C-alpha cells in the first residue's frame, strides 16, 4: 500500500442535517417508485395497483421498526453492513446479506437511470431504436459520480434542491390529475385476469422497491447530526411522505388512463397520463419532474451504497483491490459501484432489473429482522412481535412475487438464484482464506517473539 495515498475512510460526523437526510431517503424512494413501477404493478394486478402501493407501505412500516431500533443503538455510516455485523459477527450471513443489499442498491441505480432515459425520450417521441435510453442512463450515472466526488455538502445541497422541486411537482401532478379526471372512481371490482392473490402479492413486492430507499438513511448513520434521534425521524418522515405521494399519483394515473394504456406505457406511465389531462405541456412538466426525481435518486443511492461497501471492506468481509487508483477506500468503492451500475444500465431492461432488486432486498430484509429477533432484541430493546410480523409479511410477498415470475419470466428467478449461490460460495472462500491468513500471521508473530 502506498504511503502517499490515504487509504482510510473519512466519514464526516454531523455533516448531514435532518432535512438533508430526509431528502437523501426520499430521493431514492420517489425516483424508483412512482415513475417506473406504476405500469409494472398495473400489469401484475390490474387497477388494484394503487392499493398494492398502500399494502407495500404497511409492510415497509413493520420493516422500518427493526432499522430504527438498530440505528438508535448503533448509528453507523456503514448502515446495514454494520447492523448485520452486530447480529451475525464476522461470518458468512453478514457478508452474504450485506452484498445482497449492495447489489439491490446498485440495481436501483440502474433502474433509476433507465427510467430517466425512458422519460427523457418522451420529449422526442420515444426511443424506437432502443439505444438512447441506456445512453442517457449511463450519462446520468457518470454525472452523479462526479457530484459524489465533491463531498457531502455538495451532495446534500443538490439532493435537497432536487427533492423540493420534485416533491412539489409530483404533488401538482397528482392534484391536477385527479381534479380534471373524467372519472375519479377506479373500478376495483374488475381487476382483470391479473387480479388474483398471487399477482397482488407480486405487485406489492414491487411496491416495496418503491419504499426501500429509506434504508439509504441508515447508511448515512454517524454522519447525521444527532443520529440517535434523527435517523429514526428521517425514516418515518420519508415513508410517510411517500405514502401520500404514491397514493395521490396512483389514483391520478388510474383515473386518466385505462388499464391497457397504463400497461402499454409502463416505462413512462406518468407522462402518458399527463397527455390526455394536460396535453403536451403536461407531458413536458411530468418529464421534467421525472428527470429531476431519477437524477436525485441516483445521486443519493451512489452516496449511500459506496459507503456501505467501504464499511464492509474495512471489516474485511469483502475483497478489495486498489487497481492503482489513488485516494481512500471510499473513493474506490464509489468507482466500483458506478462501473457496476453502468453495466446493468447498458444491458438490462427495467422489468428484469426491478425483479432482481426486489428478490435480493427481501431476503436481506428478512435477515435483518431475524438478527434482531435472535441476537439483538434485548440490546436494542425491540418488541418480539413487530420483527416477527415483518418476517411473515416479507415471506408472503416474496412468495407471491417468485410465483408470478416463475410463470411469466422464470429466467429472472434463475439468474437471482445463481447470483446468490455465486455470492455465497465466493464469500465463503474469501472468509476462509482470510481466517487462514490471520492464523498464519499470528503463528509467525508468536514464533518471532520467541
110-134 pLDDT, tens per residue?
A: 888 888 888 888 888 777 777 888 8
Distance of CA 417 to the CA centre of its chain: 20
Highest mean pLDDT among 163-172, 220-229, 314-323, 364-373: 364-373
Residues 6+ apart with CB under 8 A from 417: none
Cβ pair 398, 208 in contact under 8 A:
no
16: helix, strand or coil: strand
Highest mean pLDDT among 16-30, 171-185, 368-382: 368-382
Please tell me the distance from the alpha carbon of residue 280 to that of residue 109, in angstroms, as a whole number. Answer: 28
Does the structure show a pLDDT above 70 at 187? no
* pLDDT at residue number 326: 60
DSSP bridge pairs for 224: 16
Does the structure show a pLDDT above 80 at 221? no
* pLDDT at residue number 6: 43
Please tell me the distance from the alpha carbon of residue 199 to that of residue 404, in angstroms, as a whole number. Answer: 6
Please tell me the distance from the alpha carbon of residue 368 to that of residue 364, in angstroms, as a whole number. Answer: 6
pLDDT digits (tens, 9 = 90+) for 80-112: 778 898 899 888 999 999 899 888 888 878 888
* pLDDT at residue number 439: 64
Burial bucket for residue 168 (CB in 10 Å: 0-12, 13-18, 19+):
exposed
Residue with cell 391536477: 176
Please tell me the distance from the alpha carbon of residue 422 to that of residue 428, in angstroms, as a whole number. Answer: 10
Residue with cell 395497483: 49
Please tell me the distance from the alpha carbon of residue 227 to that of residue 13, in angstroms, as a whole number. Answer: 9
178: left (phi over 0), alpha (psi -120 to 50) or beta: alpha
Residues 6+ apart with CB under 8 A from 363: 97, 100, 398, 420
More confident residue, 335 or 15: 335
* pLDDT at residue number 268: 78
pLDDT digits (tens, 9 = 90+) for 53-84: 889 999 999 999 999 898 888 876 556 778 89
Highest mean pLDDT among 12-21, 206-215, 382-391: 382-391
- The DSSP code sequence of 184-229 is ----TT---TT-SHHHHHHHHHHHHHHHGGGHHHHTTGGGBSSHHH
First to last CA, the chain: 28
Cβ pair 308, 101 in contact under 8 A:
yes
* pLDDT at residue number 60: 94
Please tell me the distance from the alpha carbon of residue 306 to that of residue 43, in angstroms, as a whole number. Answer: 33
* pLDDT at residue number 401: 92
Amino acid at each position: 500500500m502506498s504511503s502517499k495515498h490515504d487509504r482510510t475512510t473519512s466519514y464526516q460526523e454531523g455533516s448531514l442535517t435532518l432535512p438533508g437526510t430526509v431528502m437523501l431517503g426520499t430521493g431514492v424512494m420517489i425516483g424508483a417508485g412512482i415513475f417506473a413501477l406504476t405500469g409494472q404493478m398495473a400489469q401484475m394486478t390490474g387497477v388494484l395497483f394503487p392499493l398494492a402501493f398502500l399494502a407495500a407501505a404497511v409492510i415497509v412500516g413493520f420493516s422500518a421498526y427493526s432499522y430504527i431500533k438498530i440505528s438508535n443503538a448503533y448509528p453507523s455510516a456503514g448502515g446495514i453492513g454494520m447492523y448485520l455485523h452486530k447480529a451475525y459477527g464476522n461470518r458468512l450471513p453478514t457478508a452474504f446479506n450485506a452484498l445482497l443489499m449492495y447489489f439491490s442498491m446498485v440495481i436501483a441505480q440502474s433502474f433509476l437511470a433507465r427510467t430517466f432515459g425512458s422519460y427523457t425520450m418522451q420529449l422526442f417521441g420515444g426511443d424506437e431504436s432502443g439505444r438512447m435510453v441506456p445512453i442517457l442512463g449511463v450519462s446520468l450515472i457518470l454525472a452523479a459520480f462526479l457530484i459524489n466526488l465533491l463531498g457531502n455538502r455538495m451532495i446534500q445541497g443538490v439532493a435537497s434542491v432536487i427533492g423540493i422541486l420534485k416533491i412539489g411537482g409530483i404533488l401538482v401532478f397528482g392534484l391536477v390529475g385527479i381534479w380534471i379526471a373524467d372519472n375519479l372512481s377506479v373500478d376495483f371490482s374488475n381487476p382483470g385476469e391479473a387480479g388474483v392473490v398471487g399477482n397482488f402479492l407480486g405487485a406489492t413486492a414491487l411496491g416495496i422497491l418503491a419504499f426501500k430507499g429509506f434504508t439509504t438513511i441508515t447508511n448515512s448513520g454517524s454522519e447525521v447530526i444527532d443520529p440517535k434521534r434523527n435517523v429514526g425521524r428521517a425514516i418515518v418522515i420519508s415513508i410517510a411522505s411517500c405514502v401520500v405521494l404514491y397514493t395521490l399519483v396512483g389514483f391520478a394515473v388510474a383515473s386518466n388512463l385505462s388499464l391497457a394504456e397504463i400497461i402499454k406505457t409502463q416505462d413512462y406511465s406518468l407522462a402518458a397520463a399527463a397527455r390526455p389531462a394536460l396535453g403536451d405541456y403536461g407531458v413536458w412538466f411530468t418529464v421534467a419532474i421525472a428527470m429531476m426525481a431519477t437524477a436525485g435518486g441516483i445521486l443519493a443511492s451512489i452516496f449511500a451504497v459506496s459507503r456501505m461497501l467501504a464499511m464492509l471492506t474495512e471489516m474485511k468481509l469483502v475483497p478489495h483491490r486498489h487497481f492503482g487508483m489513488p485516494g481512500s477506500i471510499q473513493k474506490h468503492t464509489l468507482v466500483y459501484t458506478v462501473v457496476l451500475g453502468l453495466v446493468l444500465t447498458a444491458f438490462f431492461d427495467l422489468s428484469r432489473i426491478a425483479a432482481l432488486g426486489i428478490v435480493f432486498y427481501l431476503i436481506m430484509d428478512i435477515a435483518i429482522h431475524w438478527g434482531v429477533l435472535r441476537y439483538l432484541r434485548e440490546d436494542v430493546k425491540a418488541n418480539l412481535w413487530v420483527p416477527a410480523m415483518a418476517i411473515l409479511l416479507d415471506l408472503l410477498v416474496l412468495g407471491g412475487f417468485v410465483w408470478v415470475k416463475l410463470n411469466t419470466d422464470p429466467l429472472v428467478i434463475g439468474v437471482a438464484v445463481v447470483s446468490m449461490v455465486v455470492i455465497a460460495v465466493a464469500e465463503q472462500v474469501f472468509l476462509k482464506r482470510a481466517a487462514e491468513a490471520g492464523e498464519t500471521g499470528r503463528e509467525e508473530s508468536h514464533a518471532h517473539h520467541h
